[in-house]
A and B are shown apart, each in its own frame.
Chain A
Amino acid sequence: RKEVEQDPGPFNVPEGATVAFNCTYSNSASQSFFWYRQDCRKEPKLLMSVYSSGNEDGRFTAQLNRASQYISLLIRDSKLSDSATYLCVVISSGSARQLTFGSGTQLTVLP
């Protein structure tokens, strides 16, 4: 089983739609959680951290469910510019504090 799993998609949604992605992680000792965004043929960039209480940044909302070991990303009022691959990232406990990446969920917002 992969340490971090995501539905690869693709998700094809019309402009203005609301779309949600889920990600599950296997290590219950995982400490920190993030969503990164990767545009086609580009490098990943941090989109937002995910906090236990849930957090919002404009049209983006991230949630963490430690009991069920999943995190989610909700995008409201989708824009064409939201088209990208969204990577779920987890840091587990330990001195290395390595980031473990999911394989990504591809989103295409259609006009």
Chain B
Amino acid sequence: DADVTQTPRNRITKTGKRIMLECSQTKGHDRMYWYRQDPGLGLRLIYYSFDVKDINKGEISDGYSVSRQAQAKFSLSLESAIPNQTALYFCATSDQNRDSGKEQFFGPGTRLTVL
């Protein structure tokens, strides 16, 4: 079984709809991240969380919100989706106690299309 899972894997929605992307991990890591990937732009950090009570904005947080429901779960919400949020979204985890959390482990990604 995968250590980092994301649901849904693919989603097509319409402008203005509320969307939630979910991430779960069985690695026991304390840190979790949400990225989006666009062609030619690489991965950009949206939000990150170092533990359940810690939420931080990343490079491109506008239009997104997150919830860290438990150490193993980190959800990303688009309150009112717009077409330029069409992208591939990745969740990642890292372990602070392992080499200072340098390596991140990614989920399989969610391909979101906003029409």
Say whether A and B bind each other: yes
Bound: A8/B42 CA distance, A: 10
Contact-residue bracket for chain B: 20 to 34
Of all chain B residues, which has the CB nearest A91? Answer: B102
Q: Number of A residues contacting the other chain (C-beta, 8 Å)?
A: 21
Bound: A96/B56 CA distance, A: 9
Residues from chain A with a CB closer than 8 A to the CB of B101 are 97
Contact B42 A101 (CB under 8 A): yes
Contact A8 B40 (CB under 8 A): yes
Contact B42 A43 (CB under 8 A): no
Contact A103 B106 (CB under 8 A): no
Contact B102 A103 (CB under 8 A): no
For window 85-105 of B, CB contacts with A under 8 Å fall at: 90, 100-104
Contact of A103 among B40, B104, B108 (CB under 8 A): B40
Contact B90 A43 (CB under 8 A): yes
Bound: A101/B43 CA distance, A: 6
Question: Given that A8-B40, A103-B40 are known contacts, is A98 also in contact with B45, CB under 8 Å in the complex?
Answer: yes
Question: Given that A8-B40, A103-B42 are known contacts, is A43 also in contact with B109, CB under 8 Å in the complex?
Answer: yes
Bound: A98/B48 CA distance, A: 9
Question: Given that A96-B48, A98-B48 are known contacts, is A42 also in contact with B43, CB under 8 Å in the complex?
Answer: no
Bound: A34/B102 CA distance, A: 9
Of all chain A residues, which has the CB nearest B50? Answer: A96
Contact B42 A104 (CB under 8 A): yes
Residues from chain B with a CB closer than 8 A to the CB of A104 are 42
Contact B48 A45 (CB under 8 A): no
Question: Given that A8-B40, A44-B106, A103-B41 are known contacts, is A98 also in contact with B58, CB under 8 Å in the complex?
Answer: yes
Instruction: Enumerate chain A interface residues (CB-CB to B < 8 A).
Output: 4, 8, 32, 34, 41-46, 49, 87, 91, 96-99, 101-104
